[in-house]
Amino acid sequence: MNAERTAPRPLLYASSLVALLLSVLPLPQWLAWIRPDFLLLVVVWFALMAPRAGGLLFAFLAGLALDAFRGVVLGQHALAFVVVAYLVHRFHLRMRMFTLFQQSLFVLALLWLYQFLLFWIDGVTGHPVTDWMRWLPVLTGAMLWPVLAGFMGRFLSRA
């Protein structure tokens, strides 16, 4: 009887807080370049596994928090987060049927879309970053996905 499992709400708060702190943790330069978008991965995970608790509003607020932390134009990450969370919601039943590898590929596409939105907004607001290295977190994020999904899955409680 493991048909029904729930994602506890404390997990939502704890994991998003840790992800937010990780996203501004001082790292050596080369690590900072490949730093995955931890907070977005957490948002994707909740949109996938607990679409009600980690809804679009959660994605929006998480994005806004990241905007405030990074000091960029307010709403930039919020918009990108909402778009990604919407896609995950839309396909969450299908995504759950994927193998971890397929999920990672899907996450790769989502992260790419996310970076593209940020890239585009950066350009519109007059701070274009054309460095190719800004796309590195897409790869590392997708590689991190199986680890994160496996780790967070352990906290799903049985109902």
Binding site for another protein (CB under 8 A): 2-7, 20-21, 24-27, 29, 32-33, 35, 49-53, 55-57, 59-60, 63-65, 67-76, 78-79, 82-83, 85-86, 89-90, 92-93, 96-97, 121, 125-129, 131, 133-134, 156, 159
Query: Which secondary-structure segment (H or E) carries 158?
Result: strand 157-158
Q: How many Å apart are CA 78 and CA 129, to the nearest integer?
A: 19
25: left (phi over 0), alpha (psi -120 to 50) or beta: beta
Residue 41 or 49: the one with the smaller Cβ distance to another protein is 49
Nearer of residues 64 and 108 to another protein, judged by Cβ: 64
Least Å distance between CB 108 and another protein?
20
Q: Which amino acid is at 58?
A: F
CB nearer to another protein: pick between 87 and 144: 87
Q: Kind and range of the H or E element at 6?
A: strand 5-6
What is the nearest approach in angstroms of another protein to the Cβ of residue 143? 18
Distance CA 94, CA 98 (A): 7
Tell the smallest beta-carbon distance from residue 59 to another protein (Å). 8
Minimum distance, C-beta of residue 2 to another protein, in the bound complex (Å): 5
CB-CB contact of 73 with 125 (8 Å): yes
Identify whether the C-beta of residue 38 lies closer than 8 Å to the C-beta of residue 76: no
